Structures are given as structure tokens and as C-alpha cells.
Amino acid sequence: MSQAISNPAVSPPGADKTILRAAAVQKFYRSGEETLSILRGVDLNVRTGEFIAIEGRSGSGKSTLLHILAGLDSPNGGTVQFNGVNIVAISDRNLAKIRNREFGFVFQFYHLLPELNVLENTMLSPMIEFSTLGFRARAADLRKRAADLLNQLGLGHRLKHRSSQLSGGERQRVAIARALMNDPKVLFADEPTGNLDFETGRQIMAVLEDLHRRQGQTIIMVTHDRSLALKADRVLILRNGKLERPGGASDTEKVPAPEED
């Protein structure tokens, strides 16, 4: 746990550049004649290496925003650009490719595949990326990387175990290893400690902080827990469908938010 996560993305070239930009993102749900607006024109710029926490109350739409930023959901209006590409407008195939190679996800409920063991769950991204032959050609390297990641997360002895045999904290660490396996440009974390006890949650947060601080991993985390949000470089609050800076709370803003351009 205490070991640094070896990530080649340490101080990536082009740090401090905008990697993800959302503009006027809208999301609403229609139910009969009623329209429920969740996001009412969200603007957000994320720089490479930045750790952003999006805070909000339950039902505020923060998870929806995260899913739209990650290309898992599509907005009703606005754009989301990743490295200059509007991922809202690209094909399902290309979007899947970006999710597979550029993004990593950590969910509140871990979401591991029960049929796969820890090592296989960790290698899910390359398994999807490569064909059977391509995977086999790289199998040794990929296994080593997956095993290294799991080892660094304290799960070196659990490689062959199934998710049902792991504790909640261990499962979440496997989910983090899976998210890091493809060396993501952006790591999305949706309430990563929401399903864990305090101590385990603290450990998971330590892992994320460590990733950010030591390897410069860009992280966008959604949480309703102010204390966790404070671990981030920048905290944004989703309120009434829009992102706001915490009013007058300078202690929550360790790094000045970049100007929205």
C-alpha cells in the first residue's frame, strides 16, 4: 500500500495542458410531460496531472457528469473534448477505444467480474484491446504488469483469488489496478470509498493521492464526502446542475482553479 505505484505517466510531457474539456454540458430526463434537468450547462477544464474532486449531494448529478466526462453516457447538449476530440460526436467504436486505452474507472461498487480471478480482472482492458493472438504475444508482459500493479497495491498474494473471496477494500484495490492497467490518461473515480469502512476508505484514498502526487495521474473523483474531496487539488461543487467553486472556502482550494477558457 505504501509503495509508490509505478506509472510511466510520471510527469508526462504536456503536463498542465488541458486534457479534458466539457462545455455547456446538459443532461435531462423526460418522464411523460415532465422534464428533469440534471446538468444545466456544465463547463469544466481538466489539466493533465490534476486531481479534481466533484462534490455534491446525493442526486445532484455528479455521477451523471462523471459518466458523461468518461464517455459512458451522452449529454443532451454541449461537448466533451478529450485531447481535442469531441467524444460526444464520435462513433461507438472509437469511443470504446478511448475508454479502453485512455481512461480508467473506479466505481463505488468495485464492479469486478465474478467469473474472473484477480489477475484476469486486472487484465480486462488489454484483453479487450488485443485479439487472442495479440494478447498471447504480449501475455507475459501484461501478466507481469498486472502482477506488479497488484503487488504494489498489496494484493500480490491474491492473484488467483476470485472477487467473492476478497474483502471490500481488496476488491476496490483490484478495481484500481484494473483502471491503471492500461496506463490511463484520466482516472475517473465514482465514490471510490462510498462502500467501504472509514479505515479502508482512507487507505484507498491514500492510494489515489499517492498516484496523483508521485506519478502525476490525472484524477477526477466524485464524492459527497467533503473530507475526501479536500484531498484533491481542486474541489468543485455540483449544485443546481452547475459546477461552482466552494464559496469563500479557500481551504478547499489548494490549487487555484484554472481559468475557464
Partner 1 sequence: MYKLHLILKYLLKRRIAWVSLVAVTLCTLMVLVVISVMGGWLNMFKSSFRGLSGDIVVHSDGMAGFPYYERIIASLKKDSDIAAAIPSIETYGLLNFGRVATLPVKVMGIPIDEMGEVNRFPDSLYRQHVMLEDKLNDKTLAPEERKKLERILASPPSFDLLDEMTVPLAALPSDLPIEKIDPDQDQIPGTVKLPDTAPQDLRGRLRYDAVRKNLVFQGPMKVDWKDPLASLSADADYKRAVDTLFRESNTADLIDYSQLAKGRLTGMIAGTGVIGIHRNHNGEWEGRESWKTSTPVGLTVLDISGGGGVSVHDKVTRTYFIVDDSRTQVWQYDNNYVYVPLDRLQKDLGMNLQQVSDAAGNAINVPGRVTDIHIKVRARIDPNDEPALNRIADRVRSRVHEVMHGPHPPGGPTMYGPDPRVETWQETQRIWINAIENEKMLVVFLFGIISVVAIFLIFCIFYMIVVEKTRDIGIIKSVGATSAGVASIFLGYGLVIGVLGSGLGLLLSFLLVHNINEIHGWLGRRLGIVIWNPEVYLFDKIPNQMSFHDIVWIVPIAILASVLGALVPAIRAASVNPVESLRWE
Which residues are at the interface with partner 1 (CB under 8 A)?
63-64, 67, 70, 72-73, 92-93, 96-97, 99-101, 105, 107-109, 111-116, 120, 124-132, 134-136, 178, 195
Grid cell digits, residue 114: 465474478
Strand partners, 84: none
CB of 97 to partner 1, least distance (A): 7
Q: Which is nearer to partner 1, 82 or 105 (CB)?
A: 105
CB of 226 to partner 1, least distance (A): 23
CB of 188 to partner 1, least distance (A): 9
Residue 148 has φ and ψ, to the nearest 5°, of: -65, -45
Q: Which is nearer to partner 1, 150 or 235 (CB)?
A: 150
Q: Which is nearer to partner 1, 178 or 234 (CB)?
A: 178
CB of 87 to partner 1, least distance (A): 13
Establish how many alpha carbons lie within 13 A of residue 9's alpha carbon, considering only the half-sphere containing its beta carbon: 23
Q: Which is nearer to partner 1, 109 or 157 (CB)?
A: 109
Q: Which is nearer to partner 1, 14 or 134 (CB)?
A: 134
Task: Please provide the DSSP assignment of 26-59 as one string.
Answer: EEEEEETTEEEEEEEEEEEEEETT-EEEEE--TT
Cell 493533465 found at? 48
Q: Do residues 40 and 26 touch, judged by C-beta distance below 8 A?
A: yes
Helix (H) or strand (E) holding 202: helix 198-215
CB of 121 to partner 1, least distance (A): 9
